Each structure stands twice: as structure tokens, then as C-alpha cells.
Amino acid sequence: MQATMYPSAKRDHSLNFFIPSSTAHFYFYFLKVDTSADGYVDWNEFCTYMLMQLRETDYMRLKKFIPFSAEPKIRHIVQNRQECTHSITSTENPTRFITISKEGILGVFDMHLHLEKWHEVVSEKEDPRGTKRRFKTWYSDIVYMPNVHKLAITSTGRDIRFWDVSTNSYFEEFHLYALNDMPICMDYWYDKKNPAAESLLVVGFDMGSIHLFYFSQPMTSLFATLFKESEGTQRIWTQDLHLHQKFVRVVVLPNIHKQEMVRKVRYIPDNDFILSSSSSNKTSMVMMDIQGKKKTYVFRLSKGVECFDFNKALNVIATGSIDHCVRLWNPYVEDKPTAMLCGHMMSIVDVIIHESYHQIFSYSKDGVVKVWDLKEYTCLQTVSIRFPSLQHSRVPEYGAACLHIFPPPIHTMMVTCGDYVAMLKIGRVDANMNRGLQTHKEPLCSAIYNTRFNQVVTGADDSSISVWDFETGAKSHTINKAHGDEEITCMIFTTSGRRLITGARNGSIKVWNFQNGHNIHQLDVVDDVEITGLVSFGDKKGILSVGWNRLIVKYDDSDSDINFVKADLSWEGGQLHQDDILTMDFFPPNLLATASFDGQLVIWSVETEKPFVHLRKGQPTVITQQLKEILSTSGVSAPSRRQSAMTTASSNSRPSTRHRQKHKPPAGFSQAPVDKVMFLKHRLSQGTTDAPTFISSEAGYLHFWCVYGSSHYRGYFYASDSEDREESVLCMCSNHDDTFLITGDTKGYVTIWDIAEHALYPSDYEIEQPPVITTWHAHDTALVSVDLIDFENQQFLLTASTDCTARLWTIEGHYVGMFGQKHQWNIRKPESYKYPLNPWSADMEDILNEASEISGEEELDLESIEADYPIEIKIQDFDETGDIGQGDAETSQDKNNVPLANGTKIEATFPVTKYETISKSPESTEAHTDLITPSNSIEASIGHKRVRPQTNSSVHRDRLTASRGITRSRTSFSHFSCKKTLVNSSDLDTLPTAPSSILGRRIDEGLARITQSRQERRHRYGEVNSKTTARFGKLCSPFQALATLETSEVRFPRTLPMTPRMVSRGLTCSNETELRSLNLDIPIAESKSDKEQMPLTDTGQRSSMTGTPILPPIKTFNR
């Protein structure tokens, strides 16, 4: 199979053949299948792709419906005296698990399977004369009667005992004895809507009959309380039941199963049917009408039916027998089952239908629980419970009811085997359930964008890789356990974009077809240490890797048929680094940069495999070893503590850079490890020799270097707002022309810097921060990757963090969404974005409604509201006269000012994100800090105490305007807080609230656009004197533009259209000066032709225009 060429079609330059637009979707799938990227698809690739797709489909289906994810909890019931547990049930209020052993031991367990107490059911005393041989009583079943809080217990002594469990002290209340046969199994029903109405106890006997006990007044008493000589259990002889007919009546259904023992019985209240089973091959299962008016359904099996379960909503009966099969039946089709579920190795002792899951749980004698799907009739999960009583020499004894399910919120299944009981939690037990929506369950290591398929690939510390659709945010598939239990440390795409290369903490490297999860290559492991960098030179040139082994290793992956690729250690430059290599970057086709833990920076020539330039030497080995020991004992972030259990090598004991809490070098260490390096590729491609072309990040400081120039080092600046300077920058990227630098720090902030004029010349040694275009709080913890994506003339930012999330933003900082969220977005429709919300937005309306309930005399502590809201709140103090302070006068204009009690005012500024130009200016810093002082009791923050000064740089403004997709902005996701402020509920009503409807959202967006345009106009004409342009108040005048200071002379074209009359009069002008002096007064018309051209009046005479001007004269404006 080969890609077809078409002469008139759209050309794909990457593969050098043509694709018709009508078959573009076929070409898309062809690229997925063609893992070797040779333009051919053989049967091996096609079959591998199909098998991996089916396996992924099965995995996603099983992952969604697998009910058991935790190990079962097993307890030994010592009080059973090595006798098996025959039945298990549960009580309500409080919830307790109750078991009955073969010899009558009642065990009461709490929700954690701890034995609270136990009771022994005592039968009548033996004959003291010893002349009559008596057999020991065995207890067969137990059932809970919820409406009367009693237990019914059956035994081989032909009796039924009723225990009261309404109090903490359980006791036997009634004892019904001398039944005709031995009761084996029971079922109880009552009307949940009317618990005091008649209830029913169904009892199956050993001779095939079924007795129905109708209790007419269950809430009053089950039996009549007759006169008795002594207190204690009331014994009731079966022959005397006619004396209790006021409370109970008995209906006998004889010989249902032809002298065979009734294994299980069930009452169906919907149609008043009784469903029972036995081991008989003639009456294996019988469903009959109690009144005998409807048809009786008899199901026949050669091995009989040991157990069954019925669900009316699903209209299915599940049966289990000694032939190891589970059968599904239509209740009204008795000829043959609808499905047979085979897979057990021993006899099935119990089955249960889970209605909400559409699943069947079956349990066999070898302690195996299987989960079956009712829709597809497949086995979803097999759980083998390792009971100690399961010995190879014998099979333990099982009772009548071995399975019992407790509904949510407990949602637990109890399993018995011999004198042991096990508890299995139903549903996925996730330690991160309370952490909100996440992309992965563990911290992310990277998120990268594939331009060929428009997909995003994320990797996490639990060795999982997920593929997402960039346009919608939907998950395509997941590769689990990509590197076993080792965390993934780095990921890249090959140059063709059709393969994914991943490196792990144990030194393993794998090449994937990420479209279907097929592992194409496994690269040879050189050392059991972390891989920190990977480079792909193309399908025919191989792969380079670096890591903590301090080597540059080559791999040849050109042959796609070879799964295991050997390592090539013949790098010509040798082991130049004397410490762990932490990061690398590649500028095609020839420059490679590596940086190590000791601070050494080396630029390599890939062609010669030798150093091109040494930017900086490393520290002595003794110093770096001391620094490693300090970092290995320092604290790491909470999500990364799992790596201690995953890592075995001693060289890997130091935490990864992204997991450290502090990045500032300890005292006494001047050089910090290099966290990230990056080439400014556009400048290098232009052959720049003066401007910086290389950046390194070290403990939060960004260092600028020139690769080709004579002076390599060009300066540095600190790229975080941390006051103690303990943060760092772990990821960065640049735009297409290297005029903007995008960084992500360990506090979770994204910052866009203007570096177009930063340290451009060798004489410039910059230590000040370049202008900040915009910054916003993107994640809760450290950012590990940031990627600038160009998509259909739009720019987006892809960020990943150790807070287990990957998020998508516009270049302005508007929140698009998180990969893994419930609702998908459409990248072409901004209205589908999360903006104006942000990842920390809560329902503002609910908060304000709650605050409005507080009276005017109560205190509102806004510090307790820790969510980020899309409204910037400022607190200003009033003086005694009620006016705002002088320093805050200008900033308070055109805002929604809300006065509060106690002389305090809240300013709520729209739009949701406030944009303002930012740069480093001492004057602007001083002016800005005047607005935010400790006396105002306000925490000015963007995210967490993130404030930058403002400036009015025209050059910076013009550059931002010319940049595609970037506005001069700063996004403000602010906490707002106010300590001990008295608030009136009437004042709170004027606060802007978040709209809760679509109409309100549209109106809010319109207001945001209007406010933004007003801010831009004020910023552009900020130097206009309002006293000159608005002499008569705040009236809008079109002549305000004449008062601007910046004007220029306008040259009219000589071909300016003039009327023939003006030309004949000699009225011409070519510039503004001539236009001012132009006489627009029309002289008196004296000629005959002029008179003929005059308009006629109503009287038919020519009107005179003598001395009447057409336009008023233009007067010079005096400034």
C-alpha cells in the first residue's frame, strides 16, 4: 500500500507528494498507520495499528466500568469456632454487618469490619435422662426485617427465631418451633411507603414447600402476647398459630420443587410472584403466582440452580449452578437462557445483579469474584480473594448467602468463605477525588503540541501518557505504565511529528506511535539514572539523549523493524561535563547546548561532535557534591513524594528540579544549577553577532548570552516576584521573531517579556528587567512546560504544572480551558472558552448573596473568601468629609464606587481582566504604591501579591500594537480581602455580580468591551487637558481632537475634486494653510449666464444670492 499521487492537489512539503482535498481525512489516517514514515503501509503496521486501537478501546471501556480497584479487607471470625458463616445481612440506623455461623454465632461488625460484639443463639436443653439421642442444631439463614428492626433466623431444629435489634442489646423475642419441615432460606418484604402495613416473610423448606407468613400489624407485634409464666423469649408452637391470627396468618405452597430442598427464595411484589430454585433437573427454578391465577414458569437445568438473582428494572434473572456457568434468563422465556457467561473454574455459590452498573457479580467456591457486563456479556474484572481457609487439599463450606451488597454511600460488597469474611469497596478509590478536576492523577512533567495532527500530548509522574484533541480538549486515548512504575521526565516529537520519544527517571527511553500507543523502539539503557533531555535529528539521523550519567548518547532508530536499539557512546567530544546534565536545547541543523548541575554551559557542533564554544565553566566537584547532599535532604513538594518509592538507585535520591520547594542556592554556594536553556532561533538564523542568542535559567535568574559574538555574557535579571527570591523559571519559549520571551515560574505564573531591545549591543550589560507585556496566575504550583501555539492566525499558550493539570490560554491570558474538563471547547469560537472565568473562579453571586444576609452592624471578613474572582477590588479610605484622598483621586474616576459603612469604599472595576502596560520605572513604582498602602488594609495582589509598576512608553506601545495577537495588558486574577470592615446589606446590592444566565454573560462581555475601548482612548489621549477640551462639563465634542498636542500638516492632492464653478472663480487649494485662507463667499452673479443658473422662487423670479455665503467661515482656534 503506497500513498497515491495526484497532479492537481494540495501539496504536502513534508512528504513530497500531493493530497487531494477530498481525501484529506484518508491521508490523516494514513499518517497514523504509517509509523515508519516511509510512505508505505505494510500488513504488519496495519495489523499493529488495529490491534492497538482495539486494545485501547477495551481498556477505556474496562477502566470506566471496573467496580473494584482496592484490595479486599479480610477478617477472621474467631468466635465462629472454625465453623463456616452460613449467611450475612446488614442492619440500618446504625449500619452494621451481621453474620450467622453454622452453630449459631451472631457476629456484629461495624463499617470498617471491626467486630463490635457477638451473641450465641442457644437452643433448648438436651434431655437430662440421656435416653433420647439428640442432634446438634445448625443454623441455615438470617434475614433483617427493617420496619420492625428484628432478625429472623432459621435452623435445622425446625424453628424460626426472631431477635430484637432495635437497641444496642440484642435479645431473642419470639421462638416459633415445631414446624413440619426444616426451613432453609428466607426473604422478607414490606411496603416502604407504609411500613405499618402488612409485611411478608417467605420461607423455603427442605421438602420443596414454601410458607408465607403475613404479619398484619408488624409495627405493633409479630405475634400475640399471650399469658406466660416467666419473662424471656416467648415460645410459640406452630399448632397454636390460630391463636395469633390477629397478627399473623400462614399460607402454604406445598410441593413446589417435588421433594427437593429449596436453595433460595425471592418475593416479587410487582406481580405478586414467588421465585425459588432447587437442585432438581425438573424444577430447577420456578416462578409462580401466589394466587395461582397466572401461568407458572418452570426453568429446567440438568445440574439445577444453586443461586439466582432477579431485577425487575432490567427484566433479567441471573442463575448460577455447579456447572461453573452463569446464565441470564428472560423471566417469561423458560426454554433457554438469553446468554451463558462461562469463566469460573468451580461451582458458583452466589450471584448478585448490580442495577446501576448494569453488571453481575458471581462468586465461586475457589474464592473468585467475577464481574460481568450485562450489555456485552463479557467479563470485565476477576478478583481472586486469598482467603486463608482456601487450602489445596479441601474446599471450604459455604452457606446460603455468601454475597451481600450495601448501597451507596457505603457501596460495599461483603464476601464470606468458611470462618472468614472480606469487604470489597465498590467504585474507584481515588486519593485525588477531593482535588477537583485534573488532567492526570500525578504531577505532570511536560505538555507538548503536535502541529501535524493538532494534538496535545501530556506525560505524568505515574508513567501515563495522554493524547488530547487541541481543538476541543477531548481525550483521544491514554498509554498507561509507559515506563512501568517510573516517572516520565522528558518528551519530544520526532522531526516528522509522527512519533513520540519519552525518557524516564530510570534511564529508559522509548519511541512510540502515540496515535495508537504502539511501542516502536526501546532504546538501550546506559545507566539507571534520570534522562533530562532528548533530541531527534530525523528518521534517518537518529536520537541524542543526555541525563544524570553526564554523557551524550546516540541512537540509530532508522530501522523501524528493530525493536531494541543499542546505544552508541562514540561521541567525539567525550564526557566533557563533570556533573549531571540537567537540560539541553537544539538549534537545527548544527548547534547543541547542554548545561549541568555545576553550572557549566557548553555549545556543541553536532557535525563535528566537539565543543563549539564554552560559555561558562563549572564549579569544583567538591562544592557540587555538598550542594547535592543539601538538596537531597531538603523538602520536596507534596505531589512528588511518591517518587521515593519508585526510585531505587542511589544516584536518583536527589529530587527532580520541578519537585523542589526552594530553588535558591544555600548560603555559601554562589552558582546555582541550570534549570533550563533555550536558543533564540530566529536571531541565530539571521546570523546575529551582537544581540543575545541564548538564554539560561538559574534559580530564577535569566542569563543572556551571545553565541557568535566576542563578548558572550550580556547580563541577567530576576524573572519572578518572589520577595525571598526562592523561586525559579523551569520553562520558557519565544515567539517567531524572538521579540517576546514567555516564562513560567515555580509560583505558577506566566510572564511575557519584551526582549526586542534588551541587551542588543555588546556595550549593553543589562541587569534590569525588560518591559513586561502581561502576566497572570496560571497554576497553583510550579510550571514545568510552556508552549506557544500558532493556530489559524491565532496564538495560544499551552501550560503544564505539577498541580496535575494542563491548561490552554490565549496569548492575552484569557482562560480557554483545562485538558480533562467535562465540557469541551471549540477553539474557533471564543464564546466556548472559560473566559471571563479563571481556574479559581467560584460563583460570585452565591458569595454576594450570602454576604447580603449580614446586617449592617455585623462584620464581614473578606479574608475568609479565598477564591479568585474576575473582578478587581480595591479598598479606599474616606476622610472625615467623605472625600477620597488626593493620591487616589485620579484612579477612582469612571469606576463603580460602592461606599461601605465605617468610611470605606469598594471599587469594582470592569472588565474581568484589567490590561495595563508594565515596565520598570521608579517614578511609576512610587505612584503605584501610593494607591496601595498598609493603612488601607488591602492586599493588592494578582494571584498572590503580584504587583508591577506602570509606564507610558510610546515605543513599547507601538511594538505591542504591531505584534500579532498580543495586547498591552496585564491580566489580574485577584484575591480581595478587607479586615474588620462594616458592611451594609443595602450597599452590597450595588456590587457587580457574575451573571448566571447566557443573556447576562453577553451583556457583561459587551460592557467589558466598552470599558476596554474607553481605557484605550484614555491611555492614547491621556495628555489632553480636560479644562481645554471640556469647558462646559463632560460634554462630548468632536472638536476635542483639535486640542491634541501632536498635529501634522496635511497635504491635499493636486487632483482634489473641485466643482467647475469653483475652478472658474479661481478657488483652488493644495495645503492646509491655503484651506484656512480660502474665501468661500460667493460674489454677486452679474452675467446673464449666472442669472440663468439662479434658482426660481415661488413667484417665478430669480432669487438673489448677493452676499450670502454657502458655508460659514473657518476661524482659527486659539490654544
For every residue of 356-372, DSSP letters joined together read TTTEEEEEETTSEEEEE
Reported pTM: 0.52
Q: Which residues contact 163 (CB under 8 A, 6 or more apart)?
A: 106, 150, 151, 153, 170, 171, 172, 173
List of the chain residues with pLDDT < 50: 1-21, 126-131, 133, 429-435, 635-651, 842-958, 960-998, 1044, 1084-1093, 1095-1099, 1101-1108, 1110, 1117, 1119
Q: Are 474 and 466 in contact (CB under 8 A)?
A: no
Kindly write down the DSSP assignment for every residue of 226-240, as one continuous string: ---SSSS-EEEEGGG
Other beta carbons within 10 Å of 673? 26
* Residue the block writes with cell 522531526: 495
CA distance 747 to 729: 9
List of residues 6+ apart from 560 with CB closer than 8 A:
35, 36, 38, 520, 521
pLDDT confidence of residue 814: 92
- Strands (DSSP E) along 246-290, which ranges? 248-253, 262-268, 273-278, 285-289
Q: What is the pLDDT of residue 926?
A: 38
Q: What is the pLDDT of residue 489?
A: 92
Task: Give SS3 for 745.
Answer: strand
Torsion over CA of 392, 393, 399 and 402, rounded to 10 degrees?
Answer: 0
- The pLDDT value recorded for residue 184 is 94
- Max Cα separation, the chain? 160
What phi and psi values does residue 27 have, to the nearest 5 degrees?
-65, -35
95: number of Cβ within 10 Å: 12
pLDDT of residue 873: 35
Distance CA 814, CA 909 (A): 17
Bridge partner residues of 492 (DSSP): 501
Task: Enumerate long-range contacts of 3-6, CB under 8 Å, 24 or more apart.
Answer: 3/27, 3/30, 3/39, 3/40
Percentages (nearest 5) of helix, strand, coil residues in the chain: 15, 35, 50
Q: At what angle do helices 43-65 and 24-33 cross, to 10 degrees?
A: 90
* Residue-level pLDDT at 395: 79
Q: Closest Cα to residue 634, out of 673, 599, 595?
A: 673
What is the rounded distance in angstroms from the CA atom of residue 939 to the CA atom of residue 979? 10
- Quick check: helix, strand or coil at residue 714? strand
CB neighbours of 144 closer than 8 A, spacing ≥ 6?
A: 89, 90, 91, 98, 150, 151, 165, 188
C-alpha pair distances (Å), 817 with each of 472, 810, 823, 835, 1103: 10, 10, 9, 8, 73
What distance in Å separates the CA atoms of residue 450 and residue 468, rounded to the nearest whole number? 10
Question: According to the 3-state scheme, what is the secondary structure of 166-188?
Answer: CCCCCEEEEEEECCCCCEEEEEE
Asked if 701 contacts 659 with a C-beta cutoff of 8 angstroms, the reply is no
Instruction: Say how far apart CA 569 and CA 554 lie, in whole Å.
Output: 6
Spell out the residues 6+ positions from residue 30 whose beta carbon is closer than 8 angstroms to its own.
3, 41
CB 953 within 8 A of CB 919: yes
Q: 983: closest CA among 801, 852, 813?
A: 852
Given this model, what pLDDT does residue 846 score? Answer: 39
Smallest CA-to-CA distance from 748 within 812, 800, 678 is with 800
Q: Please answer whether residues 231 and 243 qualify as being in contact, where contact means their C-beta atoms are separated by less than 8 angstroms.
A: no
